[in-house]
Structure 1
Amino acid sequence: MDFMVFRCCTLLGILLAAVTHGLEITSSGSTTIEKASGESVKLDCQFTLANEDSGPLDIEWSLLASDSQKEDKVIILFSGDRAYEDYYEALKGRVHFNSADPKEGDASINLTGLRSADSGTYQCKVKKAPGIRSRKLRLTVMVRPSKPRCYTEGPSHEGKDVSMKCVSAEGTSPMKYTWEKTTDSKLLPASAVLDSLTGSMNVKNASASASGTYRCTASNRVGSEECFLTLRVTPSPNTAGIIAGAVIGVLLALILIGLILFCCCRAHNKKKYEKEMSYEIREDVPPPKSRVSTARSFTSVASQRSSLGSMSPSNLHEYIPKQQYDKIPSEEYDRPPSHAPVPPPARMAGPNLSRMGAIPVMVPAQNRDGSIV
């Protein structure tokens, strides 16, 4: 009897619950989704209606704000048998209902061309009075690793530590890097030390056996990319010989520069000397002889004119002009001492000139070269 009562009560409770909550969301998949950028995703939201749900059907998808102080953003809406898809500018043209007629029980949406900014919590809310139900899904859009760059850092010589790097410029953390050798024994050197977070691999005390081709793979939860590196471990160079050669090269360069400067200075000084010599007056060249002769000729002519001016025409026959010197004074000084100089012409006596009506004129004394004493 008690068992029958219990069954009746349970059945009554189920019926009351069905009457009170007729609308139900039936999707049961994972509420956490991870996708790579550029891909597409379906946010699932299936529902069922009850007979008592007689009101108009409204389906609303919104992106919940991470801060409680901010407002949620409606991204797509179905109301009055019509879909409205241009509510959210950041997703305009990239969000659509999965079904052409969501009234059939499929309120799912598709997001295309995913970007890292599309990450967030999305909520599906289905309303048909008196029933109201909602479902939340967490979407994380991850950026797959970009093609990494493989390179060595520093010289690759035997006996030295060789550092190999692998870096991917883009990619959502956590990122993981792995190294492997693709040639010879395909085994990494025994002294290799790897860092899977930074992508570096250091080979301690490298030997020639470490030479070969290596592959680095950068990966995260949504994708992976790889690059290749060819390592050649060479013998250590002769450091002393390199230093000596460098010193000798520097010295030769300095000597060559010095020779060039010396030749340039010498040529410059030679041109300067020739230019100065072209304007220089030699001290051993005697002065022009014409100046003394001209001065003496002017003095003789002046004396003759003065004497002639004091004579009258009656006594002109008494004045006999003496023969002029036919040589310049410099030639007289060069004449030997045995030859006596020619005496100056005779002058008329003062009384004779007075009787002739002449006016006495005082003539300054002159030396042999004609200058006034």
Structure 2
Amino acid sequence: MPGFLATSLQAGKETASLSSLSAMGSSGRWMLWTLFVCVAAWKSAALSVTMSESVKEVLRGDFVVLPCSFITFSRLSRLNIIWTLAPFSSPETPIQVIVYDHGQVIEDPSLTGRVGFTGLPFSADIILNDTRVSDAGIYRCMVNNPPESADPGIGELILSVLEPPSLPVCQWDGNIDMGGSVILSCLVAKGVPTPDIRWQKVNPEEILLPINMEGDLSSPVQIVNVSTQTSGLYRCSASNVLGTENCYVNLASYSTPDSPSGLLQGVLLTLFMSLVLLALLVLILWLHRTGQDGRWKEKKPEEEECYNEIRYTPSLMKRSFV
């Protein structure tokens, strides 16, 4: 009986050993299969490029980092990275921003000193300093790492360069006489996003759009039937997310005399002057005539006295002959 138990125990140990060997064989085969699959995947894997952000904004004059990450299974000795820009102003003519090729960095001459890589050779991120409005556009990051035969990985990012509105220029054109028509214009040279333009009458009373005004808020505004009610101080405001700038126009209307009324006034004035001259002429003639009559009266007694002397002369003569 003890011998039988010993034999049974020995048989159980041998069975357990065979089972563990079998299990170890299956695990080994699984590990070998997994390793084979990983090697095959590594050999057939293509280079991939990812952009952590697809849209970025920066204030004009600040710096910005444009991210570009890549994964490759080949050595980095022949790594090639190219950044290009398709500006919003001319998207059909992209420019080459910066290149990394065989350990050398080449910058676009127009960006020298303002652009550079931040993490070579393990990252394709670049930094752009002293940003300008012309830097806005679509940036593309292309990475190639031979001997990988796959097409280069490409990432894309849109960069917007924000700028506050420039000082607007207010102008007016038209007829400011009563009943006339005036066009107010507000010119803004710079601003990203495009500034929103608004006109307000601020003096003597503040209203968003003056009375009898036609037009929209983003274009020249026309004031028709100019009157004292439309006279006053007007303000143009150019606004975007970065601020507001203003300019002003002082519109003062006045009335001018109509042509017939002016002609009538001229005729009346001429008639009045003619009457004055005629009165002066009559006065002069009257004074002249009065002066002549006075002199005639002064001479008449002398003539009478002379006549008397002649009248008595015959008597005297007669008396002398007696």
What is the TM-score when the length of structure 2 is the normalising length? 0.53
- Structure (1 or 2) with the greater helix fraction: 2
Q: Which has the higher contact order (CA 8 A, sep 6+)?
A: 2
Deviation at 1:138, TM superposition (A): 4.2
Partner of 2:109: 89
Q: Report if the CA contact (8 A) 2:139-2:157 is conserved.
A: yes
| Equivalent pairs, count | 226
Q: 1:169 to 1:74 in 2, by over 3 A?
A: closer
Secondary structure of residue in 1 paired with 2:121: helix
Quote how far apart the aligned CAs of 1:179 are.
0.7
Gaps of 5+ in 1: 1-10, 252-373
Give the conservation status (yes or no) of the 8 Å contact 2:211–2:230.
no
Unaligned runs of 5+ in 2: 1-33, 271-322
Contact 1:26 1:46 (8 Å CA) reproduced: yes
Matched, 1:107 2:107: no
- Superposed counterparts of 1:325-336, under 5 Å: none
Q: Paired residue for 2:139?
A: 122
How far 1:77 sits from its partner (Å)? 2.2
Shift of 1:73: 4.7
Q: C-alpha displacement at 1:147, in angstroms?
A: 2.4
Aligned residue number for residue 190 of structure 1? 211
Is the CA contact 1:45–1:135 (under 8 Å) kept in the aligned structure 2? no
SS state at 2:203 partner: coil
Q: Specify the code of the residue in structure 1 equivalent to 2:121.
A: K
Shift of 1:171: 6.3
Query: Within 5 Å, which residues of 2 pair with 1:141-220?
Result: 146-169=166-189, 176-187=196-207, 188-198=209-219, 200-218=220-238
How well do the aligned residues superpose, as a CA RMSD in angstroms?
A: 4.4
Paired residue secondary structure (1:195): coil
Q: TM-score, normalised by structure 1?
A: 0.47
CA distance in 2, matches of 1:227, 1:67: 34
For residues 142 and 53 of structure 1, the distance between their equivalents in structure 2, rounded to whole angstroms, comes to 40
Give the 3-state SS of the residue equivalent to 2:110 in structure 1. helix
Residue 216 to residue 237, structure 1, CA distance change in 2 (3 Å): same
Answer yes or no: is the 8 Å Cα contact 1:61–1:75 preserved in 2: yes
In structure 1, what is the Cα distance between the partners aligned to 2:253 and 2:95?
59
**Whole-Å separation in 2 of the counterparts to 1:95 and 1:102:** 14
In structure 2, the residue matched to 1:266 is none
Whether contact under 8 Å (1:43, 1:137) holds in the other structure is no
Query: Kindly tell me: are residues 162 and 61 of structure 1, through their superposed partners in 2, closer, same or farther at Cα, counting changes over 3 Å?
Result: closer
Q: Counterpart of 2:113 in 1: which secondary structure?
A: coil
Provide the residue aligned with 2:75 in structure 1. 54
**What's the CA shift for 1:215?**
1.5
Q: Which has the higher strand share?
A: 2
The 3 A distance-change label for structure 1 pair 67 and 212 is closer
Whichever of the two has the greater Rg, that structure is 1
Amino acid at match of 2:64: K
CA displacement at 1:172 relative to structure 2: 7.9
Task: Flag the 1:104–1:206 CA change in 2: closer, same or farther, 3 A.
Answer: same
Structure 2 vs 1, CA of residues 229 and 18 (structure 1 numbering), >3 Å: closer, same or farther? farther
Quick one: which of 136, 157, 160 aligns to 1:137?
A: 157
Pair 102,242 (structure 1): closer, same or farther in 2 beyond 3 Å = farther
- The correspondence of residues 1-373 of structure 1 with structure 2, limited to 5 A, is 20-21=44-45, 23-31=47-55, 38-40=60-62, 42=64, 44-49=66-71, 52-56=73-77, 57-63=79-85, 73-85=95-107, 88-97=108-117, 99=118, 101-116=119-134, 118=135, 120-129=137-146, 130=148, 132-139=152-159, 146-169=166-189, 176-187=196-207, 188-198=209-219, 200-218=220-238, 225-234=245-254, 236-240=255-259, 243-244=262-263
Q: What is the DSSP-based 3-state SS (H/G/I as helix, E as strand, rest coil) of the residue aligned with 1:90?
A: helix
